[in-house]
Amino acid sequence: MKAPKGKYAWSATVGEKGQIVIPKQAREMFGIAPGDTLILLGDEKRGIAIPPKSSVTELMKRIFEEDEK
């Protein structure tokens, strides 16, 4: 099955210390470099998200608006 344009999926293995390696293609696509700090967002029903830096502000607005409804 071919993914829709602009949609990707990667896998990562969690090590003994709880660390994961972000695949090179994903790091390049989203401009993630060594030393960057990432935000992990979690929702017990929807899972964990690691948004690209450029969308963090907009995503946070949407999350908090959703809680107020």
By the 10 Å C-beta count (0-12 exposed, 13-18 middle, 19+ buried), 41 is classed as: middle
Contact 40, 47 (CB under 8 A): no
pLDDT of the residue at 61:
81
Average per-residue pLDDT in the chain?
85
- Listed by start position, the domains of the chain span 36-68
* Better-scored residue on pLDDT, 1 or 28: 28
pLDDT of the residue at 51:
76
Rounded mean pLDDT of 26-33?
Answer: 90
Chain segment 35-58, per-residue pLDDT in tens: 888 888 899 999 998 877 767 777
